[in-house]
Amino acid sequence: MRLTSVDDVLAAERRLAGRIVRTPLLPCPQLGDEFALDVAVKAENLQHTGSFKVRGALNALLALAERQATPAGLTAFSAGNHAMAVAFAGRAFGLPTVVCMPPHAVPTKIEAVRRWGGEVVLTDDLLATCEEITAERGYHLLPPFDDPDVIAGQATLGRELLADGPPPGLVLVPVGGGGLISGVAAAVRRAVPTARIVGVEPATANVVGHALRTGGDAPATRPVSMADGLAAPFAGRLTLAHVRDLVDDLVEVTEADIRAAWWDLMAATRLLLEPAAAVTLAALRTGRVTAAPGTRTILVLSGGNISPTMLTTLP
């Protein structure tokens, strides 16, 4: 299986120029003090649509256009962030969009899709419903993570964090279906061979780790986590190949770990973050990931789409 090349990433970077936010890499001395590390955060919650997903979705759509294969419309299935990204991309290109989302999706995410003109279908059977709608309407299903153009789009985030600071010794990335870490690893691994790239999954939504251990199976029980953005129903084949080859380690954190880290990460960074982003801090707090004192450490903060009711449960 061909992994994402430097040329793929450069092509994505060229396509996305001027269309995405170059999100800041922000120093976080408070977390640096806590762990005796040199900590910075890649604030991807500040991306258009509030998550990294718009990088992959736009790159995939632009790549289709280059191949003269612009579709009549777009479909997607997603807990929310990919849905928002596809609706955003659809609006940018004047294409109708239908996204399948779970009935328990974060209300803010559903509203955002509708604000960008996307049609929302709430269903528990995301993949089958989405495939059916795609066939009926003759639209293009834009995959959430298991796609070379989507991964190359996410890789542009890795390029930016390399350009905006000293070479990292440790990069911590939230893992759902594996698209983000595949892209980041493709960009970082080749430029900084010594960097440790570690993925973090919720213990209750660990499809990538489960597939690595079992040789590719999806878990028997449906993944559920307060980090809703990471509860992918299955890992990708292409993302698994990237994780196997390019990622150093994959660790898990509990729901209690995520809950405890969430507010503290927002307070330390002054960013509005979704719980998915907090798995990175949870991995450091619980000692699942350690590094030598002073290590340049980057936490990839994947998104910031939450509903206010989620905040009322804070300590």
Q: Show the site string, 3-42: x = touches its own copies by CB under 8 A, - = not.
A: ------------------x--x-xx-xx------------
Is 302 assigned a catalytic role?
Answer: yes
- For its own copies, the binding residues in 70-109 under the rule CB under 8 A are 108
Residue 266 touching its own copies (CB under 8 A)? yes
Rounded-to-integer distance, Cα 238 and Cα 1, Å:
7
Residue 46 touching its own copies (CB under 8 A)? yes
- 29, 42, 120, 188 from 162: Cα distances, Å: 19, 11, 37, 7
Closest distance to its own copies from the beta carbon of 116 (Å): 10
Residue 216 touching its own copies (CB under 8 A)? no
Residue 48 touching its own copies (CB under 8 A)? yes
- 1, 43, 205, 250 from 202: Cα distances, Å: 27, 20, 5, 11
For residue 229, count other CB atoms closer than 10 A to its CB. 28
The values of phi and psi at residue 176, to 5°, are: -110, -95
- 89, 127, 174, 296 from 97: Cα distances, Å: 9, 16, 27, 41
Rounded-to-integer distance, Cα 21 and Cα 1, Å:
31
Residue 165 touching its own copies (CB under 8 A)? no
Rounded-to-integer distance, Cα 107 and Cα 203, Å:
24
- Specify the stretch interacting with its own copies by CB under 8 A; choose among 44-52, 57-65, 131-139, 281-289: 44-52
- 67, 86, 150, 312 from 132: Cα distances, Å: 25, 18, 22, 38
- Specify the stretch interacting with its own copies by CB under 8 A; choose among 3-11, 147-155, 170-178, 264-272: 264-272
- Specify the stretch interacting with its own copies by CB under 8 A; choose among 65-73, 227-235, 265-273, 280-288: 265-273
- 87, 108, 128, 225 from 258: Cα distances, Å: 29, 20, 31, 9
Q: Pick the catalytic residue: 42, 51, 53, 225? A: 53
Instruction: Candidates 272, 286, 288, 295: give the one binding its own copies (CB under 8 A).
Output: 272
> Nearer to its own copies by C-beta: 180 or 238?
180
Residue 163 touching its own copies (CB under 8 A)? no
Is 5 assigned a catalytic role?
Answer: no
Residues 17-50 as b/e (b if ≥16 CB within 10 A, e otherwise) read eeebeebebbebeebbeebebbbbbbbbbbbbbb
> Nearer to its own copies by C-beta: 27 or 96?
27
Q: Pick the catalytic residue: 78, 182, 225, 302? A: 302
- Specify the stretch interacting with its own copies by CB under 8 A; choose among 206-214, 239-247, 248-256, 268-276: 268-276
Q: Pick from 307, 234, 254: which is nearest to 50 by CA? A: 307
**Residues 289, 293, 295, 299, CA torsion sign:** positive
- Specify the stretch interacting with its own copies by CB under 8 A; choose among 93-101, 162-170, 224-232, 302-310: 302-310
> Nearer to its own copies by C-beta: 49 or 204?
49
Residue 206 touching its own copies (CB under 8 A)? no
Residue 219 touching its own copies (CB under 8 A)? no
Closest distance to its own copies from the beta carbon of 62 (Å): 19
Please identify every residue annotated as catalytic.
Answer: 53, 302
Residues at the contact surface with its own copies, assessed by CB under 8 A: 21, 24, 26-27, 29-30, 45-46, 48, 50, 108, 115, 263, 266-267, 269-273, 304-305, 308, 311-312, 314-315
